[in-house]
Amino acid sequence: MELIVATRNKKKFKEIKAILKGSGLKISFLADYGKTPKIIENGKTFGENAIKKAVKIARFTGKLTLGEDSGLCVDALDGAPGVYSSRFSGKDKSDKRNNLKLLRLLKSLPLSRRKAHYSCAVALADNKGLFGLVEGRCAGLIGFALKGRHGFGYDPLFVIPKYQKTFAQLGEKIKHRMSHRYRALRKAGKIIKKYIEKH
C-alpha cells in the first residue's frame, strides 16, 4: 500500500521515511506528483495544519496520505514560534535566520529560563476523509550557540538535557529514537496498521 507524505520539504520527508522504515508501505514524496493543490498553513494549531495537508492531498490523489506539522514552542516566548516556526524570521526566512532570531530574543535569559519543547502533529486521511490525528512532544532547552551539523530547523539550538548536546550534535540515530516526530509517527504507525488490516 502506498502512503503519500504531504510535504515538499526534502529533509522532513527523509526523516519521516527513515522513522517509518519497515512499515511495509511504499512511501511517496509529494513532489513526485508534480502539480498538487497549494496548502495554506493558516491553522492556529499544528493539528489543524496537519489535517489540512492530509485531507486536501488525499482528496486530490485518492490515496492514503500523511499530513504533518511541527515546530518549536519556547516557554519564555509564550509558546512562540509555534506554528510560525518555519517562517519565524519573516519573508527571507531560513533555518539560520530563524535560529539567530531566537538567540537574539533569548539573549539575556539564563539556561533555567530557556525551556522549550518540539511538538509534532500527524494526521492520516484517505479519499473518504480524516481517520487519525496524533501528537508527539520532546522537551529540551535552547542553547546559547548553534552546535552540530545534523538535522534541520532548530536542531542546532535544541539541547537534550540527558545528553547535554543538541539534536544537531546527537545525529539521526539518537534523534529518531526520541524526537517529537518519532513519538507522533509511532502512534500513527499503529493507526496505519489497523487501517491496512481493514483494507
In sequence order, what are the beta bridge partners of 29? 5
Inter-helix orientation angle 180-198/10-19, to 10°: 60
Tell me if 27 sits within 8 A of 14, measured CB to CB: no
pLDDT of residue 32: 85
CATH architecture of 2-198: Alpha-Beta Complex (3.90)
What are the residue ranges of helices labelled H in 67-113?
95-105
- 3, 28 in Cβ contact below 8 A? yes
Q: Which among 96, 103, 104, 106 has a CA at the least distance from the CA of 149? A: 96
pLDDT string in tens for the chain (199-residue length): 899 999 988 989 999 998 998 888 899 998 888 888 889 889 999 999 999 999 999 999 999 999 999 999 999 999 999 999 999 999 899 999 999 999 999 998 999 999 999 999 999 999 999 999 999 999 999 999 999 999 999 999 999 999 999 999 999 889 989 999 999 999 999 999 999 888 8
CA distance 24 to 13: 17
Grid cell listed for 27? 512511501
Please calculate the CA angle 194-121-154 and round it to the nearest 5 degrees: 135
Which residues are identified as catalytic?
69
pTM: 0.93
Other Cβ atoms closer than 10 A to 64 = 22
